[in-house]
Structure 1
Amino acid sequence: MSKFIEQPRYSCALGAQQSVIAIKRSVPILHSGPGCGDKINRLLGQGEGYAGGNTVPCTNASESEIVFGGEAKLETVIEGAFKVIDADLYVVLTGCTSDIIGDDIAQVTSTYQEQDKPIVYVETGGFKSNNYVSHETVVKGIIDQYVDKFKIGTNKIKGLVNVFASIPYQDSFWNGNLEEIKRILEGIGLTVNILFGTESGGVEEWKTIPQAQFNIVIGAWAGLGIARHLESKYGTPYIHFPYFPIGGLETTKFLRQVADFGALKVEIVDVFIKKEEEKFYMHIERMADFMLEFRYGLPRRFYTLLDASYAIGFSKYLLNELGIIPTKQFIIDDTPLEFQEAIEEEFKNISPFRSAEVSFNVDAGAIQDEIRNDGSKNRALIIGSAWERDLAKDIGADLLIVSVPVAYRLILNCGYVGYNGGLRVIEDIYGKSLDTYR
């Protein structure tokens, strides 16, 4: 029996094209039907990167390729991409049509790999998974086919770490989040391969992945498969922090755990954390008068319609540092069953004094109906997507748009992770509250 899902917050497996776009001077080459890449870009994209959006090379597979095969056309498109686009890495991705008819993209791509061309292939037929899963598949494909071949070495460099956190474009704040993560990790003495975005060194940075002392996974579940793969392949251990650290308490907790795992110098770690906490809480103190004066007009409870990493991170921060009470929290990333129990435990222990109910549901229509039927009269905050705008208006709630589609806001390097991210959360939430006063 089929089920209609309203307003899904992720794409099909081919959405991993956005992960490729987020690597400096990298280009995806799509072996898919016409329009697939454009639909993904419309949902996830804000900015085209080096070779994204409408510039992505594509075979535009049609009836002819379905009947007779599309390998020859793929070869033509690859040749054209090499001639027209000056890139450091080319990643061939398949869509549903090519995976269904069984085109041998490995054979087509291997011809160029034998010539030491910087090209890899990954099967990402849309029906195989969502883009959370295929992000891991693509990263592992690049590691196995490119990094392993062109790596600088396998000798471990003390203090060098690879970070796997925000999924580019699926997390609309990925670039700002990765910038902040790199900043705070460098602050405690590490050298950071952030791998994606403006703070990355591009493919040259990827070539040093095998040399990392350890890997860091930040998030509920996406990225764990990559870390386990690297542990098996290169013997690199990893630490897993199971949500996005937002604000003073959780960011300090995150840094302490990383420092203990990596046996970092305590003096350097303490100095950095002390400086960051002083700055963070100085800003918090400045808003005390505001919180007192406007206390009856500020949100008292909140709902999240977010992926697990954000949902836990926001819930801990809003409750423990801002005093906003969690109602039911909704996780919309189609979390694999094997990770759900651990996520539920995080919500059970959201603070020493309170727990929060959590629901795993990808159907936003059903979630919105449940929120509408909540009888509470206290002013609410909804942390969701642009699709919650009408819901927020209907129930008189404030809305912070975090998950895709973002639609009604432009994002450059804004991020919600870390010390700086926690301050930005306060500005965005209470700025919207003040905007309601007349």
Structure 2
Amino acid sequence: MSNIVEQLRHACALGSYESVLAIDRAVPIIHSGPGCAAKIWATLGLQNGCQGTGYIGGHSIPCTDAGEKEVIFGGTDRLEKVISNSFKVMDADLYVVLTGCTSDIVGDYVGEVVDRFKAQGKPIVYAETGGFKGSNFIGHELVIDAIIDQYLKPSDKIDEGLVNIWATVPYQDTFWSGNLETIEKLLNSIGVRTNIIFGHGRGINALNKVPKAQYNLLISPWIGLKNVKHLKEKFGTEFLQYPVLPIGPKETGKFLRTIGEFLGIDKSIIEREIEKQEDRYFYYLERAADVLLETRLLPKHFVTIADSTYALAISKFLINDLGLLPARQFITEDVSKQYEKKVKESFSGFYNNIVPEIQFTSDSGDINSYLKDTDFRTKPLILGSGWDRVISKDIKGYELSISAPVSDRMVLDRSYLGYDGGMRLIEDIYTVVLQDFQ
């Protein structure tokens, strides 16, 4: 058996510095060896939808570049100097110190260094995110927990009706920014006031509101569950976990009804909004009925190669709304063993009691072997990453990149969520199919 993992689709825990960059005017300060941050930026920023750098990202990120000297004698003096200089030259509202493998193995007392700056009134926290602790999905949770424990303060008054929104991991999810805006619009349409800390124009003001919110809403099978539980323990904030990103009319309608029931919203308000949105959605779908049905261009079978959030959401849409048949569904983010059963159970409630076959693997070698050895009879639809373009071409399949690294597309505010997002996904799938006829 080979111990080599081919073509990973995520970064190490230190990649959570991208979650810091997603908070407007927040700066990560990295205590690690040289090259770590640059490689992660190339993977999640440049090669994953050309998302760029954030407020102060890319090669601008402060880093200690710890070397042999710091390994032998410790790197806290160097870290203190880098933090001090960062305050002098970088204008930010929050600074987050993140550690790499070197400093975590050596055992540098990063917390003591950070505490000295906090004693001066500086807005700074730290998280130990050595790469050996897991993926950047785990790192994301570590960063949010660090902010909860070291920055957020209890509120004297709860803002009734305000809901914090937590969903996918920024930058790892190529479509994170557009997704959050879509979720906000969907909830605003039924009268829900939302608070989101990631994305354009939010930042520290949104972060400060987190303890004031009446509820937390987590849209994820497992990522972030640790954080909303922590917020409940610390601030008493009740939470609702909705495991599926809503794509298309069936899941979006279910999503809005579930939120409405949880928050006690008048059902008539929700049903009017759903009816309005479905009327528009099916107007456009009926216009394309000749292409969708009579020409029979749509592939019969599909394979998803993505993290559990996207694999689940897209499976729900393609099976329940478009009537496609699932082949194997690959879940690639190294789901924690404690959550594997929960994730599997989420793959239920499909049309005709269809139960997709699930495989947890981060190894593209396993995925490629399955695709090569499977007789799909007709051209399959492969919904994966840029890694999967070559194998899809080899087996004469249709490939659409929807999960990291999305190296063949530029993504600005695109989203596949909601009613409009479902139409965008149909457009993108059919574009791939039609290009095969050129």
Report if TM-score (shorter chain) is over 0.5: yes
- 3-state SS of paired residue (2:262): helix
Relative to structure 2, which stretch is displaced further, 253-262 or 342-351?
A: 342-351
1:188, 1:57 → 2: CA distance? Answer: 43
Gaps of 5+ in 1: none
Could you tell me which amino acid in structure 2 is paired with residue 57 of structure 1?
Answer: P
Offset of 1:278 from its aligned partner?
Answer: 1.6
2:314, 2:392 → 1: CA distance? Answer: 18
Query: Is the Cα–Cα contact under 8 Å of residues 392 and 398 in structure 1 kept in the other structure?
Result: yes
Query: Superposed, which structure 2 residues align to 1:174-185 within 5 Å?
Result: 174-185=176-187
- TM-score normalised by structure 2 residue count: 0.96
Query: Is the Cα–Cα contact under 8 Å of residues 218 and 244 in structure 1 kept in the other structure?
Result: yes
1:409, 1:332 → 2: CA distance? Answer: 20
Offset of 1:344 from its aligned partner?
Answer: 2.0
CA deviation map 1:297-351 (0-9, x unaligned): 3311100111111111101101111122111111111111222223223334322
Query: Superposed, which structure 2 residues align to 1:352-367 within 5 Å?
Result: 352-367=352-367
1:267, 1:140 → 2: CA distance? Answer: 38
- 3-state SS of paired residue (2:376): coil
2:280, 2:346 → 1: CA distance? Answer: 28
Query: Is the Cα–Cα contact under 8 Å of residues 312 and 347 in structure 2 kept in the other structure?
Result: yes
Identity %: 46
Query: Is the Cα–Cα contact under 8 Å of residues 12 and 131 in structure 1 kept in the other structure?
Result: yes
1:129, 1:343 → 2: CA distance? Answer: 18
Gaps of 5+ in 2: 46-50
Could you tell me which amino acid in structure 2 is paired with residue 130 of structure 1?
Answer: S
1:2, 1:59 → 2: CA distance? Answer: 35
Query: Is the Cα–Cα contact under 8 Å of residues 180 and 420 in structure 1 kept in the other structure?
Result: no
Query: Superposed, which structure 2 residues align to 1:92-171 within 5 Å?
Result: 92-148=97-153, 153-171=155-173
Could you tell me which amino acid in structure 1 is paired with residue 375 of structure 2?
Answer: G
1:232, 1:420 → 2: CA distance? Answer: 37
CA deviation map 1:3-34 (0-9, x unaligned): 21111111111010000000001110000000
2:426, 2:348 → 1: CA distance? Answer: 24
Query: Is the Cα–Cα contact under 8 Å of residues 154 and 210 in structure 1 kept in the other structure?
Result: no
2:160, 2:318 → 1: CA distance? Answer: 36
- 1:306 and 2:311 aligned: no
Offset of 1:2 from its aligned partner?
Answer: 7.7
2:253, 2:298 → 1: CA distance? Answer: 27
1:317, 1:81 → 2: CA distance? Answer: 46
CA deviation map 1:34-85 (0-9, x unaligned): 0000111111112101001111000000101111111111111111111111
Give 2:68's match in structure 1, choosing from 55, 63, 71: 63
Give 1:190's match in structure 2, choosing from 192, 196, 202: 192
- 3-state SS of paired residue (2:403): coil
Size of the alignment, in residue pairs? 433
Give 1:80's match in structure 2, choosing from 74, 77, 85: 85
2:52, 2:276 → 1: CA distance? Answer: 35
Structure-2 residue corresponding to 1:223: 224
Offset of 1:130 from its aligned partner?
Answer: 1.1
1:349, 1:276 → 2: CA distance? Answer: 23
2:132, 2:345 → 1: CA distance? Answer: 31
Query: Is the Cα–Cα contact under 8 Å of residues 248 and 277 in structure 1 kept in the other structure?
Result: yes
